[in-house]
Amino acid sequence: MQKLCGAWKKYKGEVKKFHFKRYHTKKEMLKNRPLDMPEIQFRKLIRYWSLPEIMAKSIRNIENRSKQTCPHRMGSTNFEIVRKQLHESKQNHEEPTRAEIFTATRTSKKRKEVDAKTQAVIDEIQHRIEAGEDDEDGFISVLGKDQPGRLRCYGGGITKSATQFST
């Protein structure tokens, strides 16, 4: 269901980007509507996206996304696959730490440089761990507590109560 929801969200984003935001008038939007969408549905969608509260929400989301730091560099590979690969690569097959997952998902496989801010965060996490801090504590002390209902480096749908990190 999560993949289906993600595909639907991606489709809606593409429709909004290519058929709503590009045009300034309703007439232009309707003229260039997606061919796989009935006109009546597209009209309703234009009306919805034009509501002041929906436009305000969109602007707020754009601002929040601009505040994100250290984006992952995995493309469509999900965190579970990375976690499994790290788990299998360890000699004793222990679970990888969030610090290890963070580093693996932020470094490029194509030898491209990591942006300076991300590299500074990775270095700080490693420095704290080398100084004797617990892996989880070092991770949290650099990146801060997780938001309620979310758990960094675990992907969507995973919460603290569903993992070993519950308090």
For tokens 């489709």, name the residue: 11
In the prediction, which pLDDT does 111 show?
64
**Sign of dihedral through CA atoms 41, 46, 52, 57?**
positive
- Contact between 96 and 83 under an 8 Å Cβ cutoff? The reply is yes
Which range, 32-41, 68-77, 101-110, has the best average confidence (pLDDT)? 32-41
Q: Which residues of 24-51 are buried (b: 16+ CB within 10 A; e: fewer)?
A: eeeeebeeebeeeeeeeebeebbeebee
Reduce the secondary structure of 49-71 to three states and give it as a string: HCCHHHHHHHHHHHHHHHCCCCC
Give the pLDDT score at 1: 83
Q: Is the pLDDT of residue 119 over 70?
A: yes
Both structure tokens of 80: 């579970």
Give the chain's mean pLDDT. Answer: 88
Highest-pLDDT range among 25-34, 77-86, 135-144 = 25-34
Give which of 66, 144, 133 is closest to 102, Cα–Cα.
144
The per-residue pLDDT for 163 is 64
Question: What pLDDT, on the 0 to 100 scale, is given for residue 129?
Answer: 92
For residues 13-28, average pLDDT: 95
Q: For residues 125 and 7, what is the distance between their CA atoms, to the nearest angstrom?
A: 34
Residue 68's pLDDT is 84
Going by pLDDT thresholds of 50, 70 and 90, the confidence category of residue 167 is very low
Cα–chain center distance at 135: 22
Contact 159, 150 (CB under 8 A): yes
Contact 138, 121 (CB under 8 A): no
Residue with tokens 């097959």: 93
Predicted confidence at residue 84, as pLDDT, reads 92
Torsion of CA 116, 118, 122, 124, to 10 degrees: 70
Tell me the per-residue pLDDT of 47-97, one tens digit each, with 9 for 90 and over.
999 999 999 999 999 999 898 888 888 887 888 899 999 999 988 888 899
Q: What is the pLDDT of residue 26?
A: 95
* Residues belonging to the chain: 167
Is the model's pLDDT at 32 over the cut of 50? yes
